[in-house]
A and B are shown apart, each in its own frame.
Chain A
């Protein structure tokens, strides 16, 4: 079967290759821009560290208290930790008055807005070039068919490969310019990791992203501390060294 359409070969030179080349170049540029926009790692303030670690210490105590031998030691430490948690002396911000029980406004908290601004910056680096390229393709190459796939496809691929042209009877193999843009947008990741060769750096950036997401709207630490203090109070003591003499003698059959 001979092809039902004949493509002008200059379409390849003036549309297909430019779109691909622009996509690759913009992708490289974008990865450098995101690198530059990455916030420098901050030195953690000691009060933050203390708050986190003291809380973690109380949690570890609940889990590992079996390492202690006598119940007296356990009770001493339990009382001390409970006091430390409920009095709030290790809180980053001292406990506020009862009056303002309102949750803090995430927009007024300088740390939270900082995190949001960073998120905004990295998002902007993603969507600004995308918008510009899409406008460029829509403006110059709207409704262009630029290539024909060498293999047959089912009808379901029509929406993927023929965006921007309304011809229900056209064979699915023909690819429109806008669809080619989407395919390259999603499929060039492996090409970038080849070109940039520093794939670990790319991955590091990608891994950091979700960690920043949870920044705004942190739980009220005073409440977390109080809850931990409560669960500490109901913790039961059982030492791993209870009747260890018998255990050892039994294991060596004496």
Chain B
């Protein structure tokens, strides 16, 4: 029973998307063994709904670990039970499969076709505007088109579903790629307004502000230096406060403390007041403590020493 619950939890949480490869492989093996024992016929161990949820999870895991045949098998089980012409979700899965095995173009064609198939039943409904596909189409277009067009698509999408944080994150990433740091900061703030205690996003926002500071500094010599100078002070304060907020919410957060260390260092803010010196001192102390007591993952701890040496004053 424990295995089933763990897998279902994974399905609901979607952590498998960001898992490291070895762990992903373990989960895949586990899921494969477990679903191999089940059949879709009635049994007391797992209900029909749970069974198909596990199948969907297995499908994602198989695709991620490059087991195309297994993924096809899972999708066939799902299509046997549900009508693919009526299920938006199944069409999405199929497009994902095509994208992973054949290519983006075929996946895009499928989504376009499926819109036509779905409209045949009821000509009044404009299914080409349905949501899941809109998102998928936007992502598919992205690989072929210039980022500006992708951003435009994402903006359109974010207007329709402003509560979808993944869209805002993607937008922020794209703006960073295009060096529009101020816009990226705006997008990350949108996420914070939905999830105000997401300390990782707060740290990311502060890091983006750090990049913005560098950009503004390089512009200082150009025209309008007064305006930029004001802006610079503003962003510095906001950046420092965001890093501090992230370590307030999670007190062993290496990324947050490293940020505090950086933003209070001589390098980023040349004229430091006593508070900043104190904070710099505190950040050094905390990072050393985290390193000594191994309060974070090994991966994070690797970064501590180079950061400490870089920003040590």
In the assembled complex, B193 has its CB within 8 A of some CB on chain A: yes
In the assembled complex, A66 has its CB within 8 A of some CB on chain B: yes
Could you say which of A50-58, A169-177, A183-191 contacts chain B? Answer: A50-58
In the assembled complex, A144 has its CB within 8 A of some CB on chain B: no
Please, which residues of chain B bring their CB within 8 A of the CB of A251?
A: 248
Please, which residues of chain A bring their CB within 8 A of the CB of B275?
A: 245-246, 249
Of the candidates B129, B242, B279, the one whose C-beta lies within 8 Å of that of A46 is B129
Type the 1/0 row for B66-91, where 1 means its CB is closer than 8 Å to any CB of A.
00000000000000000000101000
The answer on a CB contact under 8 Å between A54 and B189 is no
Closest chain B CB from A58 CB (angstroms): 9
The answer on a CB contact under 8 Å between B244 and A252 is no
The answer on a CB contact under 8 Å between A40 and B131 is no
Closest chain A CB from B159 CB (angstroms): 7
The answer on a CB contact under 8 Å between A249 and B279 is yes
Interface residues of A in 169-227 (CB under 8 A from B): 197-198, 200-201, 204
The answer on a CB contact under 8 Å between B234 and A70 is yes
- Interface size band for A: 35 or more
Please, which residues of chain B bring their CB within 8 A of the CB of A53?
A: 160-163
Type the 1/0 row for B228-243, where 1 means its CB is closer than 8 Å to any CB of A.
0000001001101110
The answer on a CB contact under 8 Å between B194 and A46 is no
Of the candidates B48, B86, B194, B245, the one whose C-beta lies within 8 Å of that of A244 is B245
The answer on a CB contact under 8 Å between A46 and B160 is yes
How many of chain B's residues have a CB under 8 angstroms from any CB in A? 40
The main secondary structure of chain A at its interface with chain B is helix
Closest chain A CB from B144 CB (angstroms): 24
- Asked if A248 meets B282 with Cβ closer than 8 Å, knowing A46-B129, A60-B193, A67-B196, the reply is yes
How many residue pairs between the two chains, A and B, have CB atoms under 8 Å in the bound complex? 102
Of the candidates B42, B196, B247, the one whose C-beta lies within 8 Å of that of A64 is B196
- Asked if A54 meets B192 with Cβ closer than 8 Å, knowing A40-B86, A44-B131, A46-B129, the reply is no
Q: Which residue of A lies closest to B279 (CB)?
A: A245
Please, which residues of chain B bring their CB within 8 A of the CB of A77?
A: 193
In the assembled complex, B130 has its CB within 8 A of some CB on chain A: yes
Of the candidates B47, B118, B163, B240, the one whose C-beta lies within 8 Å of that of A56 is B163
The answer on a CB contact under 8 Å between B193 and A240 is no
- Asked if A45 meets B129 with Cβ closer than 8 Å, knowing A65-B193, A67-B192, A70-B238, the reply is yes
In the assembled complex, B148 has its CB within 8 A of some CB on chain A: no
Of the candidates A69, A197, A245, the one whose C-beta lies within 8 Å of that of B42 is A197
The answer on a CB contact under 8 Å between B237 and A69 is yes
Residues of A within 8 A of B (CB): 40, 43-46, 49-50, 53-54, 56-57, 60-61, 64-70, 73, 77, 197-198, 200-201, 204, 240-241, 244-249, 251-252, 254
Q: A43-B125, A248-B244 are in contact. List 8 more A-B contacts (CB 8 A).
A: A43-B130, A64-B193, A65-B193, A67-B202, A241-B241, A241-B245, A244-B244, A254-B282
A-B residue pairs, 8 tightest by C-beta: A67-B196, A241-B241, A67-B192, A64-B196, A69-B238, A57-B162, A50-B160, A200-B47
